Amino acid sequence: MFDVILKNGHVYDGSGNPWTKLDIGIIEGKIAFLGDLSKEQAIQIIDCKGMAVSPGFIDPHVHSDLLCTKPEIHKIKALQGVTTELFGQDGISVAPVSEETKPLWKKQLNGLNGDIGEWPWYSIDEYLTFLENSKMIGNAAYLVPHGAVRTLVMGFEGRNATIEEIEKMRELVEEGMRQGAIGVSTGLVYPPNVFSDKEELIEICKGAAKYDGCFVVHIRNESIHSLTALDEVIDVARQSGVRLHISHFKVIGKSNRHKFNEAIEKMDEARREGIEITFDQYPYTAASTVFHAILPPWMHSGGTEEMLNRLKNPNDRHRIIDDFLNNKDYENWVLNCGWENIIITSVQTNANKCLEGKNMMEIAKITKKSPEVAAFDLLIEEKGSVTMVIHWGLEEDVLLAMCHELQMVGSDGIFGGKPHPRLTGTFPRILGKYTREKKALNLEEAIRKMTGAPAQLMRLKDRGLLKEGYQADIVVFDQEEISEIGTFEEPMLEPTGIREVLINGKLTIHNGEYIGTRAGKVIRAARLQDMNLLEKL
């Protein structure tokens, strides 16, 4: 007797192989049998006739680190077929922290990760235990965030680290890896990571490489200096031995489009050299991040409070405006994309809710200020907790990267306000618009990029493929109907075409509706057990 049988579906196993017609039998949360189960019994039998059956989608770039504990908010991920997410992105996440750094990070991350009240943890182990006790909908793995480690050693100071400080950071990365993290992340446009140099990156990556971890990186520049920024992290991987993964690969600004091909060639060349490199990408020509990312790096030294104080200083305001107009040394969103392409997506106060969904030129007219002053005042009023969408490029460039073999699908979804529709629609958009309609990918390859490929990046041993003995994370969808519904104007509309989702063998989405199941698990890297086994051998 099986717990669940999925029968009559077209099974795509996540490897890129063509579909095959198999039934799937599930016992105690795992795939127990693949084959003909037409004469077998189960507590629940789901007829998947005419449907595609695939592994649960794995999202390798998310910002669900806190709101995964709020099922009424987080259910949108399962509704688009996502069963596993990778937290700790961009070097700016919630653990490890200390008594001194916890309040700094709570302020810094409020606009990005949301607010759940107190953080009853300090270490990565304690944070993962908190998640284990929170009864999440889906599965979660974690990266050691560079910024959290850096602040434990030297706060938000805007300077290069000393040799001794770098060594302490590496030790903290190793500690996080031993506690179950699968790699280390950084975002080299965000404070305090922006103040680090290559030597610091090499050393922290040695800490991850020691445990076969990956280095997941938002590179230092995705526009004018994107090729130089890519060279930097490739050399970090070369010198540290770490596996390299580029977050949300793109080239910002239409004037920089010619760099796309060369960037892809650089990654191919690194592969030929023997560096394991991959990248994720969301299927849109617009980005989304915290609004204070428009500010030049010097504004972020000391953390959020210091940033807000500088925004009130007339001399600092003049200096920022000059940077907006002329400074090409940092990721200058204003210079590269223009105020008309920067849209406010979420704020904290009711007074400014009317600004959500409007671009900065519209906000300037509403407030009767210049866009620069309107931006400064908004950040002050919201205490820095503002997010934005930025339209940066053209669809043909998205397609160029999407079709590359090193690409995998990642949403980079951010909750709150009127978010980027990638939060609700990334995976259905790939399967609907780009696979069924545009035929940019075949279905087997699209599913591989959502399942087997990110599982390989994360070194997951029992997820990402449909195989006997693997965890039963499974999506059943109608390939003729699956579509993104949300738009930039109405981003929270739920996608269509996802029929059933099982997470760890438990039915979570049924007939396209979330049914309240919370069967998610924390996935800690299994390296300690493996090392103990090797010692016995």
What is residue 526's predicted lDDT score, i.e. its pLDDT?
74
Q: What percent of the chain has pLDDT over 70?
A: 98
User: CB 373: neighbour CB atoms within 10 A?
Assistant: 14
Query: What is the amino acid identity at position 520?
Result: G
Distance separating alpha carbons of residues 466 and 210, to the nearest angstrom: 30
Average pLDDT over residues 68-88: 98
Mean pLDDT of the chain: 96
Q: Which contiguous run of DSSP H or E holds residue 24? A: strand 20-27
Contact 426, 434 (CB under 8 A): no
Pairing type for strands 20-27 and 30-35 reads: antiparallel
Average pLDDT over residues 116-133: 97
Distance separating alpha carbons of residues 409 and 59, to the nearest angstrom: 7
Q: Is the pLDDT of residue 421 over 80?
A: yes
Smallest CA-to-CA distance from 183 within 460, 535, 453, 530 is with 460
Ramachandran assignment for 369, one of left (phi > 0), alpha (psi -120 to 50 degrees), beta (any other): beta
Average pLDDT over residues 166-183: 98
Q: Is the pLDDT of residue 533 over 80?
A: no
Distance separating alpha carbons of residues 465 and 184, to the nearest angstrom: 24
Q: Is the pLDDT of residue 134 over 80?
A: yes
Average pLDDT over residues 133-158: 97
Contact 470, 462 (CB under 8 A): yes
- pLDDT tens profile 229-257: 999 999 999 999 999 999 999 999 888 99
Smallest CA-to-CA distance from 286 within 256, 250, 258 is with 250
Q: Is the pLDDT of residue 537 over 90?
A: no
Q: Is the pLDDT of residue 86 over 90?
A: yes
What is residue 536's predicted lDDT score, i.e. its pLDDT?
52
Main-chain dihedrals φ then ψ at residue 308, nearest 5 degrees: -65, -40
Contact 45, 5 (CB under 8 A): yes
Average pLDDT over residues 515-529: 87
Listed in order, the ranges of the chain carrying CATH 3.20.20.140 are 57-285+393-477
- pLDDT tens profile 277-320: 999 999 999 999 999 999 999 999 888 999 999 999 999 999 99
- pLDDT tens profile 496-507: 999 999 999 999
Average pLDDT over residues 390-416: 96
SS3 content of the chain, % helix, strand, coil (to 5): 40, 20, 40
User: What token pair was written down for 481?
Assistant: 């109907």
Q: What is the DSSP string of 314-382?
A: HHHHHHHHHHHHH--SS--HHHHH-GGGEEEEE-SSGGGGGGTT-BHHHHHHHHTS-HHHHHHHHHHHT
Location of structure tokens 């009127």: 418
User: What token pair was written down for 100?
Assistant: 């001194």
What is residue 254's predicted lDDT score, i.e. its pLDDT?
85
What is residue 503's predicted lDDT score, i.e. its pLDDT?
98
CATH placement of domain 57-285+393-477: 3.20.20.140
Rounded to 10°, the helix 198-209/146-154 angle is 110
Main-chain dihedrals φ then ψ at residue 130, nearest 5 degrees: -60, -45
- pLDDT tens profile 150-167: 999 999 999 999 999 999
Average pLDDT over residues 383-402: 95
pTM above 0.85, yes or no: yes
Q: Is the pLDDT of residue 228 over 90?
A: yes
Q: Is the pLDDT of residue 276 over 70?
A: yes
Question: b/e for 444-468, b at 16 or more Cβ within 10 A?
Answer: bbbbbbbbbbbbbbbbbeebbbbee
